[in-house]
Amino acid sequence: MKKVLAWILSFVLMFGCMGIYPQKGATASAEGDATEETQETSPAVEISAPSAILMEASTGTVLYEKDADTPRPPASVTKIMTMLLIFEALEHGDIGLQDEVTTSEYAASMGGSQVFLEPGEVQTVETLLKCISVASANDACVAMAEYICGNEEEFVRRMNERAKELGMENTNFVNCNGLDANGHVTSARDIALMSRELITKHPQIRDYCMIWMENITHTTAKGTSEFGLTNTNKLVRQYEYATGLKTGSTGEAKFCVSATAEKNGVELIAVIMAAENSKIRFQDAVTLLNYGFGKCQLYEDSEMPRLEEAEVKGGVRESVPLEYSGTFSYLDTSGANLNQIEKKVEMKEDISAPLKKGDAVGRIVYTLEETELGSVDIIAAEDVDKAGFTDYFKKAGDAWRL
């Protein structure tokens, strides 16, 4: 009897191991895989708009995206590129803030959101910039386009040229203000790219897009009158970390926004496209921004090691001063202890002439728990020519006199 029971038990165990009976370990593993897959494919946050992206400004890191590359009408978010070109013209000295701009009949004819400029009316560049950034004025956009390029068509050509330079692959501008037009499209990712360029290269945009209300003065043949500007971006008043940037809405585009915000040194760009109404676009933007601020911490090295001069072999000079090619920043989304980041200067063993200013001769490397996070080049701060026969002869003479 004992032999029969032993045989039956062996039979059960053998077929159980072959899979006739479910194994507890295999079930647990399968559940673990399923959970892991859900975590990877499920979005971290839920938003209503069909197209969106969240980007960290200093590094360009994308923290969230949803259908971010589909070309869609952008409405007045177009004006981010218009303002970028205005600020670049100011930077290059092509125009000045106090330059006077005369409104053409064509500029005054723009519909949609406007400040009701009249043909022949004169406003300064700074006033028109306020009209664009605060009140989203279509007429002011065209007036500035004509002032910078002579006509809107040439300005739009420059807009598209600049878009290509920024890697905006799904963008085609037809006008400078965002009024619905056939073929006038961009994507959430492309909006983030041009927003990043504007806010990082021209931070003075905040001086304009953060204005809540301000009056401008119309002076025309009819006399003088005050006109009130009110910001179309309600986040300026409703979200404590808001820094800008631009809203837009038309029948085709629905409701869009590029919302920028900064907290604890982290600056984010949340782009929402084609939301069903204004309330939803702002809710979605805030949801993304809050998610990003909860996920991000930024490390920036404000105390890079002082660099000594480096020895140069075979040069007219025996050493060269050094400098860093830039600063280092690292965006963490894992909750790591950034106080444990280590940095180490690594120099080339053999630095020989000729050297050109800007040539890399080493680097400073940043690591966290033995993982390299990035580096910054150490470069020559001056040229060093290769020594010739007369240089060696002179050196020998100097040595002999000593």
Question: For the residues of 200-235, what is the DSSP string, one character each?
Answer: HH-GGGHHHHT--EEEEEEEETTEEEEEEEE-S-TH
The catalytic position among 51, 66, 79, 246 is 79
pLDDT for the residue numbered 331: 87
Neighbouring C-beta atoms of residue 148, cutoff 10 Å: 21
DSSP reduced 3-state for 286: helix
Query: pTM (2 decimals)?
Result: 0.78
The CA distance from 279 to 231, in Å, is 15
The residue among 260, 295, 330 that closes a domain is 295
Clarify whether residues 111 and 257 are in a common domain.
Answer: yes
Q: Cβ(123)–Cβ(216) under 8 Å?
A: yes
Domain of 277 in residue numbering reads as: 51-295
State residue 135 phi and psi, 5-degree precision: -100, 0
Clarify whether residues 131 and 212 are in a common domain.
Answer: yes
pLDDT for the residue numbered 43: 56
Clarify whether residues 315 and 376 are in a common domain.
Answer: yes
Clarify whether residues 353 and 235 are in a common domain.
Answer: no
Clarify whether residues 375 and 259 are in a common domain.
Answer: no
Active site residue 113: no
Clarify whether residues 246 and 344 are in a common domain.
Answer: no
Let me know if residue 31 belongs to a domain: no
On the CB side of 155, how many CA atoms lie within 13 Å of its CA? Answer: 25
Nearest CA-CA partner of 259 in 285, 239, 281, 278: 285
Clarify whether residues 356 and 255 are in a common domain.
Answer: no
Let me know if residue 33 belongs to a domain: no
pLDDT for the residue numbered 34: 28
Q: Cβ(101)–Cβ(149) under 8 Å?
A: no
398: Cβ–Cβ under 8 A, 6 or more apart, which residues? none
pLDDT for the residue numbered 25: 30
Q: Cβ(273)–Cβ(50) under 8 Å?
A: yes
The catalytic position among 51, 113, 133, 136 is 136
- Tens digit of pLDDT for each residue in 222-237? 889 999 999 999 999 9
**CATH assignment at residue 371:** 2.60.410.10
- Tens digit of pLDDT for each residue in 154-209? 999 999 999 999 999 999 999 999 999 999 999 999 999 999 999 999 999 999 99
**CATH assignment at residue 239:** 3.40.710.10
The catalytic position among 51, 76, 113, 258 is 76
> Across-strand partners of 226?
217
Q: Cβ(282)–Cβ(209) under 8 Å?
A: no
93: Cβ–Cβ under 8 A, 6 or more apart, which residues? none
The residue among 265, 295, 325 that closes a domain is 295
DSSP element (H, E) containing 384: none
Clarify whether residues 257 and 324 are in a common domain.
Answer: no
Let me know if residue 86 belongs to a domain: yes
166: Cβ–Cβ under 8 A, 6 or more apart, which residues? 190, 193, 194, 197
Let me know if residue 203 belongs to a domain: yes
Active site residue 136: yes
Check residue 338 and report its DSSP letter: G
pLDDT for the residue numbered 39: 28
Clarify whether residues 284 and 171 are in a common domain.
Answer: yes
Q: Cβ(378)–Cβ(362) under 8 Å?
A: yes
Clarify whether residues 249 and 120 are in a common domain.
Answer: yes
pLDDT for the residue numbered 174: 98
Let me know if residue 30 belongs to a domain: no
Q: Which residues of the chain fall short of a pLDDT of 70?
A: 1-43, 389-402
Clarify whether residues 320 and 289 are in a common domain.
Answer: no
Let me know if residue 9 belongs to a domain: no
pLDDT for the residue numbered 298: 87
- Tens digit of pLDDT for each residue in 345-360? 999 999 999 999 999 9
pLDDT for the residue numbered 302: 86
pLDDT for the residue numbered 335: 87
The residue among 295, 324, 340 that closes a domain is 295
Q: Would you call 179 exposed, middle or buried from its count of C-beta atoms within 10 A (0-12, 13-18, 19+)?
A: buried
For the chain, how many structural domains are there in total? 2
Clarify whether residues 70 and 137 are in a common domain.
Answer: yes
Active site residue 79: yes
Let me know if residue 37 belongs to a domain: no
Q: Cβ(284)–Cβ(47) under 8 Å?
A: yes
Let me know if residue 2 belongs to a domain: no
